[in-house]
Amino acid sequence: MSSRHVILGVTASIALHRGLDITSALRKMGDRVSVVMTPHATKLISPVTFQAMSLEVVYHDMWALAESMDHDHIRMAQTGDALLVAPATAGTIGKLAHGIADNILVTTALAFSGPCCFAPAMNWRMWKNPVVQKNCKILQDLGWHMIAPATGDLACGEQGPGRLADVCDIMDALKLATP
């Protein structure tokens, strides 16, 4: 059994529901899971759902922390053993690659100094866009471990690369990337 503290960043991808499976898999491995949601992700799934799965407070509103003078996202970044962003949208990948700290997930990631992984999930046209590919390369050059998307049926009804990797593949990649 593992006993890591994994910070799971989830974004507003249609694959967001699989973040619940990732949370469950991490907990079954004995990991503590702190979920950080982008504001847009909360439009698709309630933070309460992730809270029920993780048994931890879910962070999603940077300004709520500012009003309470609480800096849990900094403390979490200091105590986390690994950071996993899954699913990672093109928008969040771009923000992470360029340090655009406009939400709690990116600010937490910028304060985090341990191993970082990201699992892209998007339409195949977005995935193949040279800007997205460049941003993924920037993150990899910065030491982030990319968990490549799978090829298959996409939520839009098309087929191609861009599907969130299988949960077991994400767990395997996270094991390899973390001490």
Q: What is the pLDDT of residues 158-174, one digit of tens each?
A: 999 999 999 999 999 99
pTM beyond 0.85 = yes
pLDDT of residue 69: 46
Percent above pLDDT 70 for the chain: 92
DSSP state of 13: -
| pLDDT tens sequence across 34-71 | 999 999 999 999 999 999 999 998 988 765 554 444 55
DSSP bridge partners of 34: 7
Q: Which residue has the higher pLDDT, 99 or 64?
A: 99
Just list the catalytic residues.
156
Query: Mind giving me the DSSP string for 49-91?
Result: HHHHHHSSPPB--HHHHHHHT--HHHHHHHH-SEEEEEEE-HH
Q: How confident is the model at residue 72 (pLDDT cuts 50, 70, 90)?
A: low
Q: What is the DSSP string of 80-148?
A: -SEEEEEEE-HHHHHHHHHT---SHHHHHHHH--S-EEEEE---HHHHH-HHHHHHHHHHHHTTPEE-P
152 forms bridges with which residues in the sheet?
160
**Domains of the chain, start order:** 5-172 (3.40.50.1950)
Which tokens in the block code for residue 129? 């866009």
% of the chain surpassing 90 pLDDT: 80
